[in-house]
Structure 1
């Protein structure tokens, strides 16, 4: 189980966390963070057709680790959609919780970003530097969906499930809940680990986003442990990223980003 956790993270967001830490160190030793810019969605090729191709390939291959964790659960006789609460059994409630989390986390994100920029510990963030084409907005929405699925499924639902299972095995307890998922012996341990992983792969933007995503990770992990549904978290994350990517020009004009 430990190897499974390590391998999946090394193929996905754990690897991103390592690169983000190295990137942060490189930025700090190069120039003050307040003078640097981080672009979240850069163009990938000068010619539009190849830019679109590379963008779609990047989105598709980035979701492979999600398919991997689904497969790992499925071969052990567990339905990942039911186990993680990534289904349409409660659409109204999921959308409602997702919208509330989006509002709370969105306001918190803007505040942390503003404070981080003022303190000089956060780079200027550009939500998108892609050229305007007919496919730009759809690709940015797909990019937001990629991030929401990848992060919430792996760092929250799957990682908490696996860490909880591992704690049960090490403590010699072999009883499962009705959904087949093992409840954590020490829930705060898995909450903290999940939150630290989330914070790590945002450090390339500076210390402010790392702290902000640590808090977001704590809230999302506690929510998941309480309700055992990742769908509201996916909805909230999707709305946050769509606002940041597609709505970046408006936010920049208001002075929130890129300043």
Structure 2
């Protein structure tokens, strides 16, 4: 690796927020982080681990089992739509909680890269990240599935309706917003305040990202840990969060909407 490449992959530590040295403030931050993730993605990680354990205890191999991400939630279409939208509201609320706690502590949202100063450059970064993660990620998923390390993941089994693409697109944004805000912008900022090194913080954030994808299998865990390492380091280098949110949204839109449109027409999709 060239010296220029090594310099790029090193984190760039900003001059904010300062390390918290007061023992009482440190305890408050620890309690806050634990509480936030105990009701959001940390809880999802525990549930995903139990789902994987349950799948591994079944007699059929993982590759012969299926798991759906977006499912029909009610028999009546209008109720199904409302439940789908409520799921999006919950995800956006999770991300908003992390942003509110940072803002309440004096961290401006522009400090973590949620502003409109560089829309063009942010979009270019987003497209590059989506392609760089999405194409190898798809190949890795199919390899893990065929090798028996992953369940057959169905991004959507929502019944066909006029609102399905809209609901799935909103779900894609909700997932992206909640995940990137909480496991990158919020968590890495809080760990900086607690004095953690950038590399240790990145590893914790990435492993957390992998845990709440364990329901997909070990391949889903590994793939999302790698995604977390890349996305987290990009944020540590650029201090821009919008590219991660947009890139993640693009990935999920392609997966959710694309799968829903093709699953009845392409034989090799699970």
Shared fold (TM-score, shorter chain, > 0.5): yes
For 1:93 and 1:255, locate their aligned partners in 2 and report how far apart those are by CA, in whole Å: 38
| TM-score calculated relative to the size of structure 1 | 0.89
Structure 2 gaps, min length 5: 1-28
| TM-score calculated relative to the size of structure 2 | 0.86
1:155 aligned residue (178, 183, 186): 183
Residue 103 (structure 1) aligns with: 131
1:112 aligns with 2:155: no
Q: Which moved more, 1:195-204 or 1:130-139?
A: 130-139
Q: Which runs of 4+ in 1 moved over 6 A?
A: none
Shift of 1:61: 1.9
1:63 aligns with 2:92: yes
1:239 aligns with 2:247: no
Q: Does structure 2 retain, via aligned residues, the 8 Å contact 1:110–1:256?
A: no
Shift of 1:78: 2.5
Residue 34 (structure 1) aligns with: 63
Q: Does structure 1 retain, via aligned residues, the 8 Å contact 2:47–2:212?
A: yes
Structure 1 gaps, min length 5: 168-184
For 1:113 and 1:101, locate their aligned partners in 2 and report how far apart those are by CA, in whole Å: 17
Shift of 1:59: 1.2
1:196 aligns with 2:207: yes
1:22 aligns with 2:50: yes
Q: What SS does the aligned partner of 1:127 have?
A: strand
For 1:255 and 1:242, locate their aligned partners in 2 and report how far apart those are by CA, in whole Å: 21
Residue 119 (structure 2) aligns with: 91
Shift of 1:114: 1.1
Q: Does structure 1 retain, via aligned residues, the 8 Å contact 2:72–2:159?
A: yes
Q: Does structure 2 retain, via aligned residues, the 8 Å contact 1:125–1:257?
A: no
Residue 164 (structure 1) aligns with: 192
CA gap 1:251/1:106 in 2 versus in 1, 3 angstroms = farther
- List per-residue Cα deviations over 1:120-176 (Å, max 9, x = no partner): 111111111111111111000000000000000000111000011111xxxxxxxxx
